[in-house]
Structure 1
Amino acid sequence: QKQVKGSDFPRSYYKCTNPACPVKKKVERSVDGQVTEIIYKGQHNHEPPQKQ
């Protein structure tokens, strides 16, 4: 999680669990915890994981 200059909303950054996959996700939340923005970057280069 990272506090953004000029914004009261913290951001969280995520990446795909597949080491060779370039996909990243950025989530911005308001002070009360509500999601205000979700940004995906890239495309998965692998099949979805098998459900167990």
Structure 2
Amino acid sequence: MQKYIDNLDDFEDDSRPPIVDMVEWLVPRIIAAVGIMLVLMLCASLEAL
């Protein structure tokens, strides 16, 4: 038979806050969007020459 732990006060919540997951998801997309915008601006400026 399994032994169950009764004293749950010894355990801490090590889970990450949801804001960390959101930032981790959002930052690479922002960097990619900025990179695409820079490439498009460079192409537009080269066409204007």
- Higher normalized contact order (CA 8 Å, seq sep 6+, divided by chain length): 1
Structure with higher Rg: it is 2
Structure having the higher strand fraction is 1
TM-score by length of 1: 0.17
